[in-house]
């Protein structure tokens, strides 16, 4: 008898668990909307919980900057592979009165960094040293950036903006399938670079599992109580330095104390009836985007048609030219005289296209960076686009660089550090993890910022706010922002189609068009091949998050199906 009883009990629990599991599999964990139109305010972010936080702040009377700050802290909890307090980013703003600003809170090289720090005694780059582990981390900028933005534009108290992130970290949240897949993929690396136990270490993460981050909640509490000093000095700074010392890293408490975000003049230029507003160096995004649009403007793209051979060939050729300049001329303007005016001058760009041939590819070996006499003047990032009821718009792209950055989780402080040092040119001509090469402009130096491709962008049409957009994607960020804009402005797509449409990318070197699988028909490939192009198919390129102001003044928010967790919501 007792045997039967235990078998029955076992069977009962088995059925209950099975039933629970089936329900878990059927019911979506979160209500995600990837395309939505709303009357007055909109938030697009990479996770439904961060979107909810941003929207909540707008409803409480916060402006777009408040919402963005709350989103940033919330993403550090619910989107740990790229949302961060251990990384950095860029913010582009357009206030409802048309005034503009941009903020650079990119990481910096620690004071002990030097140009050859990733090379062996023979001058060869040491595999993985700039991408994984303690030495790959730059001095984080995100917290300083959030406080700088708040000081100038914030309306609600900072404590109110950080609180939702603290709650999410302390009480935990259910992870999505996308997050579970990533966490499972990086278990080995987490173990390799972390000695202490941490909440990310687990054998088999599944959708719906609860992720609680007590130590992160405590760090966020310190920031809430002490402001940026709660991160850059005191206990958090001590913990970061201790983590560095335990693993051969070089970020010191002095580096942290000295970190400051920088306000920069946003780059703007006209393209037909539009005005593009984007990020200047330390990101290469704005310069390259404006260069490409200026080179394209003389050609009838809409007549050529979306993904016609002529369009793809022309766009490839301008991308190739812009990325050649990026490699040679762009870096931290505080250290290197980036020749922005020359790079953006109409004469230079017209000259740049002088060797464009409508029928054949100009191979990259024949494209050199422009020459100026001006003295010599498996990644994850994320983006948020916000428009508030008053029409203030904020585009932010932020990152740890690779998924979970350098994989080092600061023991005691509860967050991952970036691996942004790899965005420097570790040696002239040697490609980084995105295949990008660089030169003197982007060589490593103490306290210098590494060059980025992040391209948070705001676009006006006939003087009014028209679009807010940006994306993760490493080197493909700039070309993806370009193509989504062209899809709307030239090819007549609505924003959802524009974001969903297949993308392609050329970055000068390697001399190849990267294209999303199924993106080009075989006839198109044949035509392009005849012109001299070659291809590499990839699963996806970038994950754009965008808002468009429609003709009736309503807002169309769109996330990217390439990230199933992208969530657009408004009211
Ligand atoms: O700043 C940059 O250009 C890179 N660190 C961005 C990395 C990135 O977008 C990875 N995401 N997919």
513 token code pair: 């068009």
Known catalytic residue at 381 = yes
Residue 138 in contact with ligand 1 by CB distance below 6 A? no
Q: For 162-226, what is the HEC assignment? A: HHHHHHHHHHCEECCHHHHHHHHHCHHHHHHHCCCCCCCCCCCCCCCCEECCHHHHHHHHHHHHH
Residue 423 in contact with ligand 1 by CB distance below 6 A? yes
Report how far apart, in Å, the C-alpha atoms of 17 and of each of 24, 203, 365 are: 10, 20, 61
Give 94's Cβ-side CA count (13 Å radius): 26
CA of 5 from ligand 1 middle (Å) equals 58
Residue 133 in contact with ligand 1 by CB distance below 6 A? no
CA 278 to the chain's CA centroid: 14
CA gap 179, 181 in Å, rounded: 5
Q: What is the mean pLDDT of each run of 10 residues along the chain (571 residues)?
A: 59 60 70 98 98 98 98 98 98 98 98 98 96 98 98 98 98 98 97 96 97 98 98 98 98 98 98 98 98 98 98 98 96 96 96 96 86 54 97 98 97 98 95 93 98 98 98 97 98 98 96 97 98 96 98 98 98 98
- Can you tell me whether residue 46 is helix, strand or coil? coil
Residue nearest to atom 6 of ligand 1 (CA): 474
Residue 278 in contact with ligand 1 by CB distance below 6 A? no
Instruction: Please give the radius of gyration of the chain, using alpha carbons only, rounded to the nearest integer.
Output: 24
- Residue 374: per-residue pLDDT: 40
286 token code pair: 């704005």
Among 282, 475, 477, 481, the mutation site with the greatest number of ligand 1 atoms within 8 A of its Cβ is 477
Q: For 210-246, what is the HEC assignment? A: EECCHHHHHHHHHHHHHCCHHHHCHHHHHHHHHHHHH
**Contact partners, residue 556, CB within 8 Å, separation at least 6:** 35, 36, 37, 494, 495, 496, 547, 548, 549, 550
Residue 508 in contact with ligand 1 by CB distance below 6 A? no
CA gap 487, 214 in Å, rounded: 44
CA of 365 from ligand 1 middle (Å) equals 26
| Residue 10: Cβ within 10 Å count | 10
- Residue 4: per-residue pLDDT: 55
Residue 472 in contact with ligand 1 by CB distance below 6 A? yes
- Can you tell me whether residue 120 is helix, strand or coil? coil
Residue 474 in contact with ligand 1 by CB distance below 6 A? yes
Kindly tell me the burial class for residue 488, based on how many C-beta atoms sit within 10 Å of its own C-beta (0-12, 13-18, 19 or more). Answer: buried
* Bridge partners, residue 170, by sequence: none
CA gap 334, 179 in Å, rounded: 37
- Residue 7: per-residue pLDDT: 64
Longest dimension (CA), the chain: 95
- Residue 380: per-residue pLDDT: 84
Closest CA to 506 of 361, 380, 400: 361
Q: Residues for the chain: how many in total?
A: 571
**Contact partners, residue 329, CB within 8 Å, separation at least 6:** 338, 339, 343, 369, 370, 372, 377, 441
- Residue 19: per-residue pLDDT: 56
Q: Judge if the upstream peptide bond of residue 568 is cis by omega within 30 degrees of 0.
A: no
Residue of 176, 282, 316, 381 with catalytic role: 381
CB of 401 closer than 8 Å to CB of 422? yes
Among 86, 421, 454, the mutation site with the greatest number of ligand 1 atoms within 8 A of its Cβ is 454
DSSP conformational letter for 450 = P
- Residue 368: per-residue pLDDT: 78
User: Which alpha helices (DSSP H) does 27-98 contain, by range?
Assistant: 48-59, 64-78
CB of 455 closer than 8 Å to CB of 282? no
Among 434, 449, 560, the mutation site with the greatest number of ligand 1 atoms within 8 A of its Cβ is 434
Residue nearest to atom 11 of ligand 1 (CA): 380
434 token code pair: 């995105």
CB of 555 closer than 8 Å to CB of 473? no
- Residue 367: per-residue pLDDT: 85
- Residue 373: per-residue pLDDT: 47
CA gap 393, 466 in Å, rounded: 10
b/e code 491-500 from CB counts within 10 Å (16+ = b): bebebbebbb
CA gap 312, 226 in Å, rounded: 52
Angle at the Cα of 279 from the Cα atoms of 273 and 282, rounded to 5 degrees: 150
CA of 327 from ligand 1 middle (Å) equals 16
Identify how many contiguous H helices and E strands the chain contains and give both numbers. 19, 19
| Residue 214: Cβ within 10 Å count | 12
Instruction: State how beta strands 42-45 and 567-570 pair.
Output: antiparallel
Query: What backbone phi and psi angles, to 5 degrees, belong to 365?
Result: -65, -20
SS3 percent helix, strand, coil of the chain, rounded to 5, is 40, 20, 45
CA of 434 from ligand 1 middle (Å) equals 8
Residue 399 in contact with ligand 1 by CB distance below 6 A? yes
- Strand locations in 348-442 (E): 379-387, 393-402
**Contact partners, residue 234, CB within 8 Å, separation at least 6:** 222, 226
CA gap 337, 519 in Å, rounded: 39
What is the secondary structure of 252-269 as a DSSP string? -HHHHHH---EEEPPEEE
């Amino acid at each position: 008898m007792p045997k039967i009883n235990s078998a029955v009990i076992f069977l009962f629990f088995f059925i209950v668990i099975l039933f629970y599991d089936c329900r878990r599999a059927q019911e979506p964990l979160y209500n995600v909307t990837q395309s939505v139109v709303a009357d007055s305010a909109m938030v697009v972010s990479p996770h439904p919980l961060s979107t909810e936080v941003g929207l909540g702040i707008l409803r409480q009377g916060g402006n777009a900057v408040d919402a963005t700050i709350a989103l940033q802290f919330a993403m550090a909890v619910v989107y740990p592979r790229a949302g961060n307090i251990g990384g950095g980013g860029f913010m582009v703003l357009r206030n409802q009165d048309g005034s503009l600003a941009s903020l650079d809170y990119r990481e910096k090289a620690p004071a002990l960094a030097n140009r050859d720090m990733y090379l062996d005694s023979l001058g060869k780059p040491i595999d993985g040293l700039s991408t994984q582990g303690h030495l790959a981390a730059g001095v984080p900028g995100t917290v300083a950036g959030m406080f700088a933005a708040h000081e100038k534009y914030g309306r609600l108290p900072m404590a109110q903006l950080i609180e939702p992130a603290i709650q999410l970290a302390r009480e935990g949240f259910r992870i999505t399938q996308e997050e579970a897949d990533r966490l499972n993929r990086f278990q080995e690396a987490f173990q390799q670079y972390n000695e202490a136990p941490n909440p990310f270490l687990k054998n088999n993460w599944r959708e719906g599992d609860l992720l609680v981050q007590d130590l992160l909640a405590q760090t966020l509490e310190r920031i809430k109580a002490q402001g940026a000093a709660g991160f850059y000095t005191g206990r958090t700074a001590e913990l970061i330095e201790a983590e560095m010392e335990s693993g051969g890293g070089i970020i010191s408490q002095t580096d942290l104390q000295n970190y400051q975000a920088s306000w920069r003049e946003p780059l703007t230029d006209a393209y037909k009836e539009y005005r593009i507003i984007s990020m200047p160096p330390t990101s290469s995004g704005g310069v390259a985007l404006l260069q490409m649009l200026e080179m394209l403007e003389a050609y009838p793209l809409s007549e050529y048609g979306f993904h016609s051979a002529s369009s793809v060939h022309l766009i490839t050729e301008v991308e190739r030219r812009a990325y050649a300049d990026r490699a040679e001329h762009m870096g931290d303007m505080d250290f290197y005289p980036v020749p922005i005016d020359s790079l953006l001058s109409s004469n230079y760009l017209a000259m740049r296209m002088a060797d464009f041939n409508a029928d054949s590819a100009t191979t990259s070996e024949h494209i050199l960076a422009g020459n100026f006499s001006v003295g010599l003047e498996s990644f994850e990032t994320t983006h948020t686009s916000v428009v508030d009821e008053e029409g203030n718009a904020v585009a932010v792209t932020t990152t740890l660089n690779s998924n979970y950055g350098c994989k080092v989780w600061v023991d005691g402080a509860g967050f991952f550090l970036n691996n942004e040092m790899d965005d420097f040119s570790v040696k002239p001509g040697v490609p980084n993890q995105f295949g990008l090469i660089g030169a003197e402009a982007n060589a490593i130096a103490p306290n210098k910022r590494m060059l980025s491709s992040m391209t948070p962008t705001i676009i006006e049409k006939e003087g009014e706010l028209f679009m807010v957009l940006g994306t993760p994607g490493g080197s493909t960020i700039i070309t993806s922002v370009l193509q989504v804009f062209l899809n709307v402005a030239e090819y007549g797509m609505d924003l959802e189609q524009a974001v969903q449409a297949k993308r392609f990318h050329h970055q000068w070197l390697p001399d190849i068009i990267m294209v999303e699988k199924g993106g080009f028909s075989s006839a198109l490939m044949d035509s392009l091949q005849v012109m001299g192009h070659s291809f590499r198919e990839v699963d996806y390129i970038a994950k754009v998050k965008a808002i468009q102001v429609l003709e009736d003044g309503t807002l169309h928010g769109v996330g990217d199906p390439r990230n199933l967790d992208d969530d657009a919501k408004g009211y």
